[in-house]
């Protein structure tokens, strides 16, 4: 018998893929506008994380998940300015 807890990694992977797809669909084909909007969202989230910490930012699992989803929509050449 398969328990629900046994499929947790697969469920999280599926949710991540669906979130990536949804972000891609919402942002559409406007690459330059999309990149700007995603970069702003990443920077705002990073500020929230930094405000929770005084010395060193500590990312929670939800923070990592959000950054992973948003990083797929941000062109790699702009990662250096966000991370």
d(CA 1, CA 73): 39
Which three-class secondary structure state does DSSP give residue 34? helix
Determine the pLDDT at residue 82: 52
| 44 vs 6 pLDDT, higher one | 44
Determine the pLDDT at residue 15: 87
10 Å Cβ neighbour count for 12?
12
The answer to whether the predicted template modeling score (pTM) of the entire model surpasses 0.85 is no
Asked if the model's pLDDT at residue 81 lies above 70, the reply is no
Structure tokens of 24? Answer: 């891609």
Summarize pLDDT for 20-52 with one digit per residue, the tens.
888 777 766 556 777 788 888 988 898 888 888
Determine the pLDDT at residue 10: 80
Determine the pLDDT at residue 30: 56
């Amino acid at each position: 018998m398969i328990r629900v807890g046994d499929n947790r990694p697969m469920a999280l992977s599926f949710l991540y893929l669906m979130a990536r797809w949804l972000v891609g669909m919402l942002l559409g084909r406007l690459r330059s506008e999309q990149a700007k909007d995603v970069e702003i969202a990443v920077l705002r989230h990073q500020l929230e994380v930094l405000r929770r910490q005084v010395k060193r930012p500590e990312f929670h699992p939800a923070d990592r998940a959000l950054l992973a989803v948003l990083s797929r929509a941000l062109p790699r050449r702009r990662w250096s300015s966000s991370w």
